[in-house]
């Protein structure tokens, strides 16, 4: 694992991104979009998994404008959650999208990249993956249990890149009525594939976490792998 520095497009500074290379190149790249806990152990493990699949993983630090290098553990007590939600509430999502767009551009230029770049986000990152599908030139986008998407469904008709959505049926942050609105909002949209995983909670694909579900995660991750291969080579 290495780190690169990416200049912000608004001239306000630069931010770090973790890079994990696959064994063989050229390869497509995947911008890994963090949960509210920063680029932590879970994101590093997920980045390594993506690299093991044969893609370049690039995980930018989205909270850098508030506090660079956030690395929180969701299983280490309420204080970690309190800080995570404070960072989330202070996060400027428009600037975050601009930072992700800059990361996508930087990833395309990385040595070993074949020029194709997708995004993959979790929780907050799942929400931002919707935003990159609508507002960036990413070649594909994957959203795991994205939050608040029911409030952004006007973007469905403006979708630029294909989007794969993984939705947890028992997600405490995305209740049943929100899920119903999302599914109705993307129904018939050729650029969106949405899957609901029965009986699982938010963060079901975070290996080792309190909500980890091996069956649902394996099915979701298999769909993700096929999707990335299709769009990134």
Residues carrying an active site annotation: 171, 202
User: Distance (Å, rounded) from C-alpha 109 to C-alpha 112?
Assistant: 8
Sheet with 113-122: strands ordered across = 2-7, 14-20, 56-60, 27-33, 113-122, 140-144, 163-168, 192-197
User: Distance (Å, rounded) from C-alpha 46 to C-alpha 72?
Assistant: 15
User: Distance (Å, rounded) from C-alpha 6 to C-alpha 83?
Assistant: 25
Q: Which two tokens stand for residue 223?
A: 């769909």
Match 């893609």 to its residue by tokens.
55
User: Distance (Å, rounded) from C-alpha 177 to C-alpha 106?
Assistant: 38
User: Distance (Å, rounded) from C-alpha 184 to C-alpha 187?
Assistant: 5
Query: Which class for 128: exposed (0-12), middle (13-18), buried (19 or more C-beta within 10 A)?
Result: buried
């Amino acid at each position: 694992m290495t780190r690169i520095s990416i200049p912000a497009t608004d001239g306000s500074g630069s931010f770090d991104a973790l890079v994990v290379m696959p064994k063989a190149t050229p390869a497509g790249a995947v911008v890994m979009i963090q949960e509210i806990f920063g680029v932590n152990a879970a994101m590093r493990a997920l980045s390594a998994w993506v690299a093991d699949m044969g893609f370049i993983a690039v995980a930018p630090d989205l909270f850098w404008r508030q506090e660079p290098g956030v690395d929180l553990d969701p299983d280490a007590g309420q204080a970690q959650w309190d800080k995570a939600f404070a960072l989330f509430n202070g996060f400027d999502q428009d600037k975050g999208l601009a930072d992700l767009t800059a990361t996508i551009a930087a990833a395309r230029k990385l040595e070993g990249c074949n020029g194709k770049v997708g995004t993959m986000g979790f929780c907050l990152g799942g929400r931002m993956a919707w935003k990159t599908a609508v507002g960036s030139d990413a070649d594909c986008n994957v959203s795991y249990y994205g939050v608040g998407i029911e409030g952004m469904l006007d973007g469905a008709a403006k979708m630029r890149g294909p989007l794969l959505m993984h939705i947890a049926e028992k997600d405490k942050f995305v209740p049943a009525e929100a899920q119903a609105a999302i599914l109705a909002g993307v129904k018939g949209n050729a650029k969106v594939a949405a899957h609901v995983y029965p009986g699982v909670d938010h963060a079901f694909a975070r290996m080792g976490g309190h909500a980890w579900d091996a069956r649902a995660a394996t099915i979701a991750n298999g769909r993700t792998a096929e999707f990335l291969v299709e769009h990134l080579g």
